Structure 1
């Protein structure tokens, strides 16, 4: 076994006493690609259980820690532990006020902010906040919806998530982003007749049959939709195409995979009906979907938080787990230090100043400053 393999199997350690930027770097340096979060979840659990004023629960690689001061209002601070696959961007490094590394912006900087507040509130001699806080750390956010750890908690332990308001620390450049778009994946299948490629007139090429599918995508005019004063831009794209049997065979099947990001004024069922309408005449099968969420920024808790943050809230131009909170009756917003436009890229980074700013804002909101 190599030294690198031995290190990967060894228990990971965290120090919640680190400055928040250094803690982010420590989190980034513990690989946690979707489905492989246990080592990081174990490290987070050890630190949370060492804090005497937190009640900690675990379900799989999902952790929930709650304060219990007897206060009338409770807020959730939530973040996912997983990342997309590493792209030669570990270990982390700091250059010019930026922390580079896989998951730096999506979303270990947000997790670091959660952990710093948990360490402060959970300490025996810690302060009493203005609100009760539930900290949620979950797995498998970056992959198919059925494996999402927050979804598992919603279904299996909804009582752990009961709250008046939730903040998801996804990357927003430390500004409030309201709601989120829904997401749907579907396959569009074409059929043909297999034949030898030297006698193509005896067959029907399924890949050629997919040309109208691609033409409809190329000519598609996506909606821009105002929902509660925020503008959501829909997207419909091919994200994969498969077909072909061998270099001398006319293929009898071709599958185009499409992803539809839809505004929160549409339900999952309406989104599926729209995709079927766009590809009318073809075999369309929905393979995965998750609903969007309306902004809800007129609700008192969300409005108060947005006012504290300042600036003008904008629409979340992606899908996030605010949809799961909203579906459970808990108003939620996106607010975190990362930059969503850098998520999933090789050059992923987070501005260290924004991590510090996000932590200061949440501490101020909880009356810890």
Structure 2
């Protein structure tokens, strides 16, 4: 349910949006926001945005939407999620909370994914009060968990009128390069059946794990495609990602399940991706457990062209799934662009260069001014 204010405990953190954006990133990291526990950070973000008179602010659960209304010819979205994965459990890890510095390197949970991007959003909200495009800032919860819990999905269902835009930028880490669209993803459980027996009398049973060997052989032999979509080359992948079966060390297993994940180029719908996997694994018992459509590059609108020109680098494809797919499904062309190396996301020593956060802010500020 949307609301215009939120209940808070005493002494909640306050954010200074006008400080150096790298220091702002550190302050955002230090408000721990594991998925499902984003309220404290959402409170701080809401307070900071409500102090800016040029923004109209709406809160829905632990998601916040802030909009300018300047009558500009174009409206763009700057979006980012507030939540992080759990803190590392390995002793000595630096990707934790509170954050720490090593020269110009900032360590902490979410430093890369994606509190640097969130800090850039906040800095723009405070320092670019009259942009050349109207801006909708979106800060949302529950990105790092099941898609059904997504705060962006909830906003789409309950506050769709706030999300209309001509172009969107998701500030996920991309090393400061525009990454267009994203691959889709689909998952299956492929099951083989057997007959249980004592392993000393194995001839009395049928081994379900052995029966799964052809599944693995077909997957290992599969040659993944590289597909050009609107000028960008998307690499696909199809893999067994988990296998389980058997009940005891002296029992012939009567069931085995191979979990399969297909990352498919955005030229395909989830239904087409499913058809391809079922064709490859024909003859086996299969159940689809999850699927999300991909997104085309989103570079064919004027706002995208001007943004790419400001960045000054050739766009790349996004191989992993991101919420640009949700924006694309709403009819909003969108790209990924943010500070930090995506390969460091969720790592035990997650970190980001202060200079990269400042560079990201500089690009977006120049584009919006």
Partner of 2:168: 166
Aligned with 2:312 (options 292, 301, 310): 310
Which sits farther off after the overlay, 87-96 or 273-282? 87-96
> In the TM superposition, what whole-angstrom CA distance separates every residue of 1:277-300 from its partner, at most 9, and x where no partner exists?
121111111111111111131321
Per the alignment, residue 101 of structure 1 pairs with 108
Q: Over aligned residues, Cα RMSD in angstroms?
A: 1.9
Q: Is the 8 A contact 1:41 1:81 kept in 2?
A: yes
Question: For structure 1, which runs of at least 5 residues remain unmatched after alignment?
Answer: 1-7, 122-126
Structure 1 runs (4+) deviating above 4 angstroms are none
SS at match of 1:79: strand
Structure 2 residue 299 is the aligned partner of structure 1 residue 292 = no
Tell me the residue number matched to 1:4: none
SS in structure 1 at match of 2:319: coil
- Structure 1 position 235 matched with structure 2 position 249: no
Q: In the aligned structure 2, how far is the partner of 1:241 from the partner of 1:332?
A: 36
The normalised TM-score by structure 1 is: 0.91
**Is 1:120 matched up with 2:132?**
no
Residues 9 and 292 from structure 1, CA distance in 2 versus in 1: closer, same or farther, beyond 3 angstroms? farther
Q: Does residue 15 of structure 1 match 2:16?
A: yes
Contact 2:18 2:127 in 1 (8 A): no
Q: 1:321 aligns with which of 320, 323, 327?
A: 323
Alignment pair present for 1:73 and 2:74: yes
Q: SS of the residue aligned with 1:256?
A: strand
Shift of 1:9: 11
1:67-117 Cα distance to aligned partner (Å, 9 max, x none)? 122323211100011222222421322224221222111111000100111
Which segment is superposed worse, 181-190 or 86-95? Answer: 86-95
Matches within 5 A, 1:37-52: 37-52=38-53
Shift of 1:10: 7.5
Residue aligned with 2:355, SS: helix
The structure-2 alpha-carbon separation of the partners of 1:266 and 1:21, relative to structure 1 and needing over 3 Å to count, comes to same
State the shift of 1:52 in Å: 2.4
Identify the residue that residue 3 of structure 2 maps to in structure 1: none
Q: Is the CA contact (8 Å cut-off) linking 2:295 and 2:325 kept in structure 1?
A: yes
Task: Tell me: CA distance 1:204–1:33, structure 2 relative to 1, closer, same or farther (3 Å).
Answer: farther
Residues 256-265 or 92-101, more deviating: 92-101
Between the aligned partners of 1:12 and 1:188, the Cα distance in structure 2 is 48
1:181 partnered with 2:183: yes
Q: What's the CA shift for 1:12?
A: 4.1
Unaligned runs of 5+ in 2: 1-8
TM-score (norm 2): 0.91
CA apart distance, 1:196: 2.4
Contact 1:145/1:288 (<8 A) preserved: no
